[in-house]
Amino acid sequence: MRLTTQENGKHHITIPNHSPIKIGTLSAILRDIDNHFNFTRDECLTQLFE
């Protein structure tokens, strides 16, 4: 799955279609999101799950 955002400039991220996603893969996805939006990990998780 490929997700695209226009917020803070155009950015693409690819989410693999694995079940379950390995912890290292999930960490890399979250790190990419953190970097794009200049979030800390806690801020990112708050945005995703609240």
pTM of the model: 0.78
Domain ranges for the chain: 2-49
**Each residue's pLDDT tens digit in the chain (50 positions)?**
999 999 989 999 999 998 899 999 999 999 999 999 999 999 999 988 98
Cis peptide before 20 (omega within 30 of 0): yes
Distance between CA atoms of 18 and 9, rounded to whole angstroms?
A: 28
Q: Which of 30, 46, 33 is nearest to 7 (CA)?
A: 33
